[in-house]
């Protein structure tokens, strides 16, 4: 149920963000979503793509430092309160969230939340027990094509 996320170290300077996107586009790799966490000095770019192994390879070939982390994606109705239920479940189970971000599909009325947990397996169990839908990679990319 876990999804492979690529993370990449970026220096905080103009134009730096477009380069990895260009490299992936040239390799014919579609970016499902990306999120940037940045500080004054540097940023960490997080990417979800279908062909994560190939993406890692082409990015590393370009000289980047890339690592792979397993993240958990959940689907939530894109309306007020949808997020609150999930967060409450996580808090109640005392799961530690390293970070999270959200995105929506073009056509959908539902948003996807991506979580980075210390312990993704335990988190998946808790979420599923609470009836929250955890989306696996295949499903995610299929949805993206609709």
Partner 1 sequence: MNEFWHDAGCAFHPVSAPDYLPVAQLRQLQLHRLKAVTQRAYDHVTLFRERMDERGVKPDDVQSLKDIALLPFTVKVDLRDTYPFGLFASPMNEIVRLHASSGTTGKPIVVAYTREDLRVWASVMVRTFAACGLDRGDIVQNAYGYGLFTGGLGAHYGAEALGATVIPISGGNTDRQIMIMKDFGTTALCATPSYFLRILERAPEMGIDLRELPLKAGIFGAEPWTDEMRKRIEPEANIKAYDIYGLSEIIGPGVGSECCEQNCLHIFEDHFYPEIIDPETLEPLPDGSEGELVLTTLSKQAMPMIRYRTRDITALQTEACPCGRSIRRIRRISRRSDDMFIIRGVNVYPSQIEEALLAVEGTAPHYQIVLTNDGVMDDVEVQVEVTPEAFSDTVGAMETLRRKLSASIERIINIRVNLRLVEPNTIQRSEGKAKRVLDLRKK
Q: What is the DSSP string of 32-55?
A: EEEEEEE-SSEEEEEEEES-HHHH
CB of 89 to partner 1, least distance (A): 22
Tell which one of 27, 69, 82, 110 touches partner 1 (CB under 8 A).
Answer: 69
**Residues contacting partner 1: total by CB under 8 A:** 21
* 41 near partner 1 (CB under 8 A): yes
Does position 9 interact with partner 1 (CB under 8 A)? The reply is yes
Q: Which residue(s) pair with 31 in the sheet?
A: 49
Alpha carbons 126 and 131: distance in angstroms, whole number: 9
Least distance from partner 1 to the Cβ atom of residue 11, Å:
5
Helices (H), 27-136: 52-61, 82-92, 120-129
Write down the least CB distance from residue 118 to partner 1, Å.
10
Rg of the Cα atoms in the chain: 16
Candidates 17, 23, 27, 64; binder of partner 1 (CB under 8 A) is: 64
**DSSP SS3 for 136:** coil
Contacts with partner 1 by CB under 8 A lie at 5, 7, 9-11, 37-39, 41-42, 44, 46, 63-67, 69, 98-99, 116
């Amino acid at each position: 149920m876990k999804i492979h996320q690529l993370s990449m170290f970026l220096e905080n300077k103009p134009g730096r963000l477009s380069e990895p996107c260009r490299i992936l586009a040239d390799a014919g790799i579609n970016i499902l979503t990306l999120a940037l966490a940045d500080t004054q000095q540097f940023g960490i770019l997080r990417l979800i793509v279908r062909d994560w192994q190939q993406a890692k390879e082409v990015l590393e070939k370009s000289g980047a430092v890339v690592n792979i982390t397993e993240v958990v994606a959940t689907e939530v109705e894109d309306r007020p309160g949808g997020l609150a239920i999930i967060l409450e479940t996580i808090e109640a189970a005392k799961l530690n969230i390293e970070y999270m971000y959200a995105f929506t599909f073009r056509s959908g009325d539902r948003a996807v939340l991506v979580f980075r947990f210390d312990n993704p397996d335990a988190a998946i169990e808790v979420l599923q027990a609470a009836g929250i839908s955890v989306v696996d990679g295949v499903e995610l990319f299929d949805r993206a094509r609709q």
